[in-house]
Amino acid sequence: MSAYTRKLSLTTTVFLLSLWHNTSVAQPPQHWFEKFKNSASDTELYTFLYAMPKGGDLHHHMTGSALSEWWYELALKQQEHGYRYYTKVTISNCSEYGSNAFGYRPYLLHFNNLLESSYQQLSDCEKSEYKRLEDLSEHELTAWLNSIRLDEDHEGRDEFFQTHWQRLDELMNSPYLVAEILVKNMQAFGAEGLIYMEPMMGASGYTTPDGVPIKPDDVANIYRQRLQQSDAQKTGVTVRLQESILRFAANAEQQLRNYFDFVSRNNDLYLAVNMVGREDNDKGHPLRFKQTLRELRRSYNNVKLSIHAGEVDEPNFHVRDTILLGADRIGHGVNLISDDDLLRQMRYGPYLVEINLISNLLLEYVDQYNQHPFPEYLRLGVPVALSTDDRGMWDSNITDEFFVAVKEFNLSWDELMQLNHNSLQYSFIDASNKKALIATYEQRTAQFEASFVKHGFESLKHVSPVSYGFICDQYQLCDFSQNTNNRPQQ
């Protein structure tokens, strides 16, 4: 290049830089959601997310999804089916407890709940420790309600896994009560704009008031009949169910065989089998079930798998091993972030990670949200969807999950729609119903967006969010309406 050419090139560059500096360059208009998000108060943002149309909740345990107040209300109503409950209000150091001191029903545990038939089998000393549920004092009822939700800073993983379920105990014996919990969730989720639920809601382990086992097929019929009633139908929420095995149980393989057969025979209602239970109990490691599942796939062609994996502190290959088992969806997947090769392979499908932000914080799998891998998965292209896990014990709802996601990770409108679309696209429901659900979601979302773009927050003036303890405790959002916390004042 000659000196003249170099000089000309330099002059041109200086001229263009000067022109760029002195000319206002048109910027693309800010997206309407970003404008709203950047100016909205937390109350306004929560109201928006409560009203926002939503897809499905693919990961929640039905008996963990009941608010404490629901348990109490519904337990008292079970007398119409012959169930009456007693709860432990004091410990008298009865010498008879013996080997039960540290078993599934620990002796040294307040608010353990028993059927009347089990209560009658206790010694006189132990009977004196229990009260009928309906006879609790105001103070005792408050403590009972708090005993089955994580509402204290010192409570966490061990409290949840080792006391909540043991306290519920025989409250979970009535299929009629659990069916009512399902409808309560349908009503609450429907009010939040959700259109699909796929909870883990087993049909085994139920008994009559006298303790006689009820056959799983009979339980499934109780669920079907309840779902056909008008109040359930009016929610507009479509429901399909999953069975679940306790992964570390000694008979877990036999549970798997039994539930594959049950799901296959009841495929109008049940779609999948899941593996639940503490993943840090090594007796439930995924590869334990490899051979059993290979045997089952020789005979069954209509049972899906969605398995808890990666809900553990240590880096390991549980997510990788779970995919090898045949799972199409991964529950939690927190430690997938530590498996670089698998993370790369999971970009853009075909496996979905069911994300439970609130659960992972309260059960101490992350200490704070900036440690959560959710935004990395989302923005790498790993399919993800938000879900509630055990929302009754968190005292939360599905809106709380979206609020946390937007506040902590600055989600865009496109990302919100993608999460909701994923929750339907990766559901296990049949293709025809899936197509209809996606169409319903897209239509509702288009109408919601058009109304908000045109009228702004004024379009939500009729919306009164129903919130609970989590969002009040964590984000001080406690003043939506007289319905806030949705519980009687104690």
pLDDT, one tens digit per residue, over 434-487 is 999 999 999 999 999 999 999 999 999 999 999 999 999 999 999 775 443 444
Three-state SS string over the chain comes to CCHHHHHHHHHHHHHHHHHHHHCCCCCCCCCHHHHHHHHCCHHHHHHHHHHCCCCEECCEEHHHCCCHHHHHHHHHHHHHHCCCEEEECCCCCCHHHHHHHHCCCCCCCCCCEEEHHHHCCCCHHHHCCEEEHHHCCHHHHHHHHHCCCCCCCCCCHHHHHHHHHHHHHHHHHCHHHHHHHHHHHHHHHHHCCCCEECCECCCCCCECCCCCECCHHHHHHHHHHHHCCHHHHCCCCEECEEEEEECCCCCHHHHHHHHHHHHHHCCCCEEEEEEECCCCCHHHCHHHHHHHHHHHCCCCCCCEEEEEECCCCCCCCHHHHHHHHCCCEEEECHHHHHCHHHHHHCCCCCCEEEECHHHHHHCCCCCCHHHCCHHHHHHHCCCEEECCECHHHHCCCHHHHHHHHHHHHCCCHHHHHHHHHHHHHCCCCCHHHHHHHHHHHHHHHHHHHHHHHHHHHHHHCCCCCCCCHHHHHHHCCCCCCCCCCCCCCC
CB 286 within 8 A of CB 278: no
Amino acid 72 reads Y
Task: Report which of 64, 46, 103, 41 is spatially closest to residue 363, judged by C-alpha positions.
Answer: 64
Answer for the pair 209, 241: CB distance below 8 angstroms, yes or no: no
State the Cα–Cα distance between residues 333 and 318, nearest whole angstrom: 9
Q: What is the mean pLDDT of residues 88-104?
A: 74
Q: What is the pLDDT averaged over residues 106-123?
A: 95
Strands 130-132 and 238-239: unpaired
Mean pLDDT of 28-37: 91
Residue 95 pLDDT: 66
Asked whether the predicted pLDDT for residue 23 surpasses 80, the reply is no
**Predicted pLDDT of residue 25:** 54
Full-model pTM: 0.91
How far, in Å, are 188, 367, 440 from residue 236 at the CA level? 11, 37, 11
Lowest mean pLDDT among 126-140, 152-166, 180-194: 152-166
As a whole number, mean pLDDT of residues 360-367 equals 96
pLDDT given for residue 490 in this prediction = 31
> Is the per-residue pLDDT at 6 higher than 90?
no
| 450/360 Cα distance (integer angstroms) | 35
- Assign 28 a pLDDT band (cuts: 50, 70, 90): confident
**CATH code of the region 58-66+174-386:** 3.20.20.140
Determine the pLDDT at residue 16. 39
Higher pLDDT, 394 or 95: 394
Provide the residue count of the chain: 490
**Tens digits of per-residue pLDDT, 171-206?**
999 999 999 999 999 999 999 999 999 999 999 999
pLDDT above 90: residue 224: yes
Mean pLDDT over 260-277 rounds to 98
Band of residue 27 on the pLDDT scale cut at 50, 70, 90? low
Average pLDDT, the chain: 92
At residue 70, what is the residue type?
A: W
- The answer to whether residue 15 scores a pLDDT higher than 80 is no
b/e 7-20 (16+ beta carbons within 10 angstroms → b) = eeeeeeeeeeeeee
242, β-bridge pairs: 200, 272
- Average pLDDT of 34-45? 96
Give the phi and the psi of residue 302 in degrees, each rounded to 5.
-135, 30
Paired strand residues for 213: 207
Please give the pLDDT value at position 486: 44
Domain boundaries along the sequence of the chain? 58-66+174-386, 84-166
Given a cut of 90, whether residue 29 has pLDDT beyond it is no
Residue 274, strand partner residues: 244
Q: Over the range 106-133, which residues count as b (16 or more CB within 10 Å of their CB) and which as e? A: ebebbbbbbbbbbbeebeeebeebbbeb
Percentage, residues of the chain above pLDDT 70? 91
